[in-house]
Structure 1
Amino acid sequence: MKRHHSLVVLSKEHHDGLILAQILKKGAPAYRDLPADPEGKRKYALRFYREELIKHFDKEEKVLLPFCSGISPELDKLFQKMLEDHKRLEKLFEQLKNENDCEKTMHEIGTLLDDHIRMEERELFESVQKHVNEEKLSLLSQKLKG
């Protein structure tokens, strides 16, 4: 199913999140000009989390979730999974701040972030498009841009 224009802003943000997820996984090859050493990856991941992911999570939790919750049990279940993943990722990034040997945590973040983004794209956003009418999706687009 084609992505509704109201969700495109979130999908575009997911692209950069997927790149972060891939470079954090154990044995990941070097990618473009992104850090390849563990400490460089750790610093990059923490900066990306602070500058990008927190804002992205806020859009999903403070705009998308309240706008679409209660519409269907399927959507509510997917939103619950989204919130659980966000909390787990927040804990892992906090753990990453205080670790010297961080490769295991980075791999865990990379794996969870990859799975989380794919769940949102393949299941949550598809369910939003299935259960939310066009008029409401257009209003959502305005709220996500604002």
Structure 2
Amino acid sequence: MKRNENLIPLSHEHHHGLVFCHRLKKLNHTDQLTAVRYINDYYENHLRNHFTEEENTLAYLINDEKIKRRFLNDHNIISNIITNINITPSDVIEQGLALSQIINNHIRFEERILFPWLEENLSDKELFGIGNDLNVEVTEIEGHAFEPEFWEN
């Protein structure tokens, strides 16, 4: 899928988000404490910043209320699940699987619905502004230093 160059940094981060989703499916290969630490580590070091970047650079440009509502609501749901994981860590495996599915669906929504909408409805100047405003350093999750690497089992 051809993506406007100004949205590519977010698409790269989405790839890393899908890797995270895949790893969440292997939470049953580790203990509860490690699973909670892993989810919190990813959220604090990657996902929270990604949501902030997207909301600050995209939300004000989306004038389709249905798309905007889904975009922001998904971010809230994902953040709430992570909060719930910290409140009730005994359910981390089940909640982690649900989190994986919700993040996966959200990424697919952004890549297949939101980004094409932006590309079709925004001017070149507005798209350039997104790229210019993004202060995204693409972090290679494959090099993400988290131990133990339970997903390798």
Q: TM-score, normalised by structure 2?
A: 0.80
Query: Do the aligned residues in 2 keep the contact of 1:38 with 1:102 (CA within 8 Å)?
Result: no
For 2:126 and 2:91, how far apart are their aligned partners in 1? 47
**Residue of structure 2 aligned with 1:56, choices 50, 74, 92:** 50
SS of the equivalent of 2:6 reads helix
1:6–1:137 CA contact under 8 A, matched in 2: yes
- Does the 8 Å CA contact 1:6/1:140 hold for their aligned counterparts? yes
- RMSD over equivalenced CA pairs, Å: 1.9
1:145 lines up with 2:138 in the alignment: no
Amino acid paired to 2:102: L
What is the number of equivalent residue pairs in this alignment? 134
1:10 aligned partner, one-letter code: L
Question: Whole-Å Cα distance in 1 between the matches of residues 117 and 70 of structure 2?
Answer: 13
Structure scoring higher RCO (CA < 8 A, sep ≥ 6) equals 2
Deviation at 1:38, TM superposition (A): 4.4
Which position in structure 1 is the counterpart of 2:143? none
- Structure 1, unpaired ranges of 5+: none
Cα offset, 1:60, TM superposition? 1.2
CA-to-aligned-CA distance 1:57-79 (integer Å, 9 cap, x gap): 0011111111x122xx3xx3212
1:21 to partner: Cα distance: 1.2
Q: Which amino acid aligns with 1:129?
A: E
Q: Does 1:65 align with 2:59?
A: yes
Unaligned runs of 5+ in 2: 137-153
SS of match in other structure, 1:123: helix
2:121 corresponds to: 131
- The 1:140/1:101 distance shift into structure 2, 3 A limit, reads closer
CA contact (8 A) 1:21 1:114 kept: yes
4+ residue runs over 2 A deviation: 38-42
Is the contact made by 1:7 and 1:125 (CA closer than 8 Å) also made in structure 2? yes
The CA deviation at 1:42 is 2.7
Q: 1:117: Cα distance to partner?
A: 0.5
1:112 partner letter: I
CA contact 1:38–1:103 (8 Å) conserved in 2: no
Normalised to the residue count of structure 1, the TM-score between the two structures is 0.83
- Deviation at 1:145? 3.0
- 2:86 corresponds to: 97
